[in-house]
Chains A and B, each alone.
Chain A
Amino acid sequence: MVPPLVTIVSRGTRKKQAEFEAEALPHMDVLYNFALRTTGNEDDAQDLLQETYLKAYRFWDKYEKGTNIRAWLFRIMKNSYINRYRKETKEPDKVDYDEIENFYNTIRAESTDPNDLQQKLFGHLLGDEVTKALESLPDDFRTVVILCDIEGLTYEEIAEFVECPIGTVRSRLHRGRKLLQAELYEYAKKQGVIKSD
């Protein structure tokens, strides 16, 4: 009597495992990249990825089949990150935007030709510097810049992932890109590409 009943339980669990692997594992690369950009180092990214997949498997029965699984996995990852890794919150409304405006006034004074500025500012940058600039952004801004500019998600998909209105996504994207420019400008100054004041 024991083996058939246990077999039923095993078969049900194995079916769950097979479904989970078929649907969730193909998104590992996308999730890993997001974890890496968000945490800034490979060890934390690996831990975050593992935690995300374990939680996703544990709550697999709660996932509504046929809905956007990538959005569901991203939300688990985002919440895990917030609970475990985000110790210092950089609140968007505490960023000094006057500093950003001053940046624009400075670069306008230096050059009126944006193509010249592109070459000066961005032509000498290496991948590491851009990655560091991205990692220095506040979490909420970095998330939307990564999802839009690297992952290529639409505003609607980003709004669903981060659970905020599309208007907020637009605003964070705009401000995030401006902050990024300011960071890259600082790198360029440190490299001597742009003369310091």
Chain B
Amino acid sequence: MFTDRLRLLRLLPRGGRGLLAALVALQLIRAVLPAGLAVAVGRLTTTLFTQGGGQTVAAAAVAGLFLLDQIAWLLIIPVRNLLVRRIDGDLRGRMRAIATGLPGLATLESGDFQDRVSRAVDNGMGLARDRSAGSAAAGQFELMVRMLSAIAAAAVVASYSVALAIGLLATALALRVIMRRQWLKIIDKLDADTAGQRYEFYVASQSVIGAAKDVRLYGLGHWFGNRFRAANARTWGPVWRELVGVLRGQWWVAAVLLVAAAATMGFPAAAVVDGRLEAGRLITIVLAGLGVLAISAMGMEAFDIEYGLRGIAAADELTTAHGDANRTSAPGALGPPAVTFDEVVFSYPGSAKPVIDGLDVTLRPGQIVAIVGENGAGKTTLVKLLAGLYRPSSGRITVDGAEPHEQRPAVTVLFQDFVHYPASLRDNVTAAAPGNDSDDAVREALRKAGADGLPAELDTLLWREGDGGTDLSGGQWQRVALARALYAVDAGRRLLILDEPTANLDVRAEAEFHEQVISQVRDTTTLLISHRLSTVRSADRILLLHDGRVAEDGTHDELLALGGRYARFFHTQAEAFR
């Protein structure tokens, strides 16, 4: 527990040292103010009792301390807020770095990893407050300041009676510990089911963002609404029960506080009556005593700390497990690489049936190889294996001698579900090989990809949700993605993989695809996956994938002559044109 607390404090400098220094100074001022104010009010009443003058100074001191308290409070809010945001932003960045630095997709796809990532940075479903590492760290600091404040107040009380000071402090701390435990129980309930919560949150959010068109087409608004209600009940039901249970146990807390407050006022007042304490100091002791008791009140910081700690723990687990994954990428190669698959077998986790089952093939440098096969034949899996995103279950893949899952090849992949970056047209092209942006290279890539109808201005934001943003049609997006791949080739990625690059292109673009695009790309080993025979037939070599292995291998003409699956595939389609 102590190490946890220390862990939180160590987060604070991430928000900036100057900012932290300002926060520390302001908080310290506020920490000693209750004790100071108690003394100042005591001094004022003393001057009033004795009527010896100095009342104006004493009154000004009270008002001045009061003002200082207000202004410190006003400044703490923005300073703390910025610090918290910075810590949270940094943690989000760390999660991104870990996720994109993973050696492969298998970890990223695991439920365990996704749970932790969503726990580390809140998904917005927090209990009245969002889970935030920054808030936890700032809360921890505030808690220490409040302790300090209570101790300062206790010191003032001790000037009258050490026993009373210790008694009050002990009572206040004990109450605090008990109440903290109650909070913990609530948070336990809240955290019990992150995976379930994440899933329900996903389902609920689909009705608004992910599946907007289907929701309307099939009238699913209410179905999703009911799912949301069920998710809410499942997530919060246990929390509410716990919360209401905690409320019932407040009677005896009230009793303890009643006694403590009575002691705070009664003992010093009795001392004044007996003449053991001068009248002017009574109010100082009473105010300071109440200041000690104030620490028993649970501010939101206790919740922030406990809730935020779970998120930090998740982040730390990820950092320990994956933070130093030193994946190496091959430098941009000068020439096209050679690729070999040697008896490669791959099955997805939890699935018994291999998707790739004994794949054995060599691609020579500079070859343009097309892969055809039915849906589910394992074409896209093959791409992911070759790019090093998955590790073969058995067998060996090499790209210029190196295994892709150990050293990521200088590869660029146009995936079927390529990314629509919420960014400018330029950034959407350079995304494939960031670092050396040149507008000429971007325009050249767009030209090669046949992107004529696109916005002329490279700064155009391709994100309709953004201010001044616009969106492209499906086919236009595909050309941008193609330009992205070509740009990467230009930047030295010599293994080019195109997964269904013409699926959304129009007829003319499809017909011209080979001539306009493929034959223009030089010095790459190219893997082309397509259902479109016009895209496939001019390849140097065609592989037909069936049951996870290469069933047929040859040029278009050779495969036609072979009279196998490919020939049947071709003839049936040709038939349709007659």
A binds B: no
B contact residues vs A (CB 8 Å cutoff): none
